[in-house]
Chains A and B, each alone.
Chain A
Amino acid sequence: MLIFLISFLAGMLGSLLGIGGGVLIAPSLIVFVHLPVRTAVGTSLLGVTATSVTAAGIYIKRKMTDLKLALILETTTIPGAALSAFLASRIPSKYIGSVLGFVLLYVAGNMLRKSQAVPDESTPGSRKNLILAALASFSAGFLSGLVGIGGGVLKTPILHFLVGLPFKAAAATSVFMVGLTSSAGAVHYMARGDVDYPVAAVVVLGVIGGAYLGTRVIKRAAPLLLKKIFSLVLALMALKLFLEALK
């Protein structure tokens, strides 16, 4: 029941902010269900995929998702992730983790500082800095693969700040992209048998409910409030990376 509730919350946050929600699910599975780390990560990736697919289906129907942009940026994210998988053993990931922690803190601060200058939320914004965004997506894929965090925490800020999408459109586009990446990762865990199927069923049921509620809430939620919640999530993620670097 506890895992169902945590998954529900993760699904809701995931669909509201354009992140997967794995940051909540995986640690909960380790602490409360005592799953081994690999199995917890594999099972949580299935939850992230379910969040993403549920939310993406609704956001695309509402025309909040910029599909072309998602395809362009996802095409650059994947080579970054593939390169990090290749170089993972040669680069000290904990130092990279602390650098990424500073980047996340900077983004969180920027998100709060610039939150008053909200563009029109009803339509996707202009596509400025597309090449810069593609490079940032490549780096996001590389860094997220290296330190083992989901791409959503980086994709939403890239779409919002670099491309100029309104926050809700950025979250909707990011959640679609996260689904592609997480399903690609989950396949590897399933092939190795690192998934607990009964637990995964409970997680998936929870996140689908939460993601559906999230898509309802986002219609009424103020972008400023969403940005504050997102900044808090980024700050917590940065703290986690700093603590891991200190170990």
Chain B
Amino acid sequence: MTGRYLSRILRLFILLSLGLMIAGISDLLLSGSDFLIKMGIYLLIFTPFAGLLIICFYSKIEGKKWEFLLSFLLLLFLLFNLLSAYFF
């Protein structure tokens, strides 16, 4: 179940990001704004984080203790990494 939902989320996010990027390039050429490109990039960067959230959530539901613990650890690392990049 974890793999199925993880795969769906990754493919959905990459598709949304791709759409935003294509719209962003058109917007950049027409109006000179890179807002949509930035949104696409932020969505792309958030995707592994969302993937870990999915693993964490479904491994908890399925009672996979080790997968839950490891994904939770990695989530904490990514969160700390994000905070350290922007605030420290």
- With A78-B77, A188-B85 as contacts: A180 and B21 at CB distance below 8 Å: no
Given A50-B44, A205-B21, A208-B18, answer yes or no on A198-B52 (Cβ-Cβ < 8 Å): no
- Count: A-B pairs, CB below 8 Å: 119
Stretch at the interface among A56-64, A119-127, A155-163, A217-225: A56-64
Q: Do residues A46 and B45 form an inter-chain contact, with CB atoms below 8 A?
A: yes
Interface residues of B in 3-28 (CB under 8 A from A): 3-4, 6-7, 10-11, 13-14, 17-18, 21-22, 24-25, 28
Q: How far does the alpha carbon of A57 sit from the alpha carbon of B44 in the complex, in Å?
A: 13
CA distance in complex: A60, B58 (Å): 15
From B34, B38, B45, B67, give the contact of A49 (CB < 8 A): B45
* Interface membership of A243, Cβ < 8 A: no
CA distance in complex: A190, B24 (Å)? 18
Contact A191–B48 (Cβ < 8 Å): no
The 8 Å CB contact of A58, one of B7, B49, B86, is B7
Nearest CB of A to B18, in Å = 6
Asked whether A201 and B78 contact (CB < 8 A) given A53-B44, A180-B48, the answer is no
Task: Determine whether A19 belongs to the interface, using a CB cutoff of 8 Å to chain B.
Answer: no
Is B53 an interface residue when CB atoms closer than 8 A count as contact? no
**Contact between chains at A183 and B49 (CB < 8 Å):** yes
| A187: B residues at CB distance < 8 A | 45, 81-82, 85-86
Q: For the complex, is A39 an interface residue (Cβ under 8 Å from B)?
A: no
Q: Taking the complex as formed, is B70 at the interface, i.e. its CB lies under 8 A from any CB of chain A?
A: yes
Q: Which residue of A lies closest to B81 (CB)?
A: A184
Q: How large is the interface on A (under 10, 10 to 19, 20 to 34, 35 or more residues)?
A: 35 or more
Contacts of A191 in B (CB 8 A): 85-86
B residues adjacent to A (C-beta < 8 A): 2-4, 6-7, 10-11, 13-14, 17-18, 21-22, 24-25, 28, 34, 37-38, 40-41, 44-45, 47-49, 51-52, 55, 64, 66-67, 70-71, 73-74, 77-78, 81-82, 85-86
In addition to A180-B78, A201-B40, 5 A-B residue pairs with Cβ atoms within 8 Å of each other are A50-B17, A56-B10, A183-B47, A183-B78, A187-B85
Some 16 contacts from A to B, beta carbons below 8 A apart, are A46-B44, A49-B48, A53-B13, A53-B47, A57-B14, A63-B3, A71-B67, A74-B74, A180-B48, A184-B77, A187-B45, A188-B81, A190-B45, A195-B41, A197-B41, A201-B37
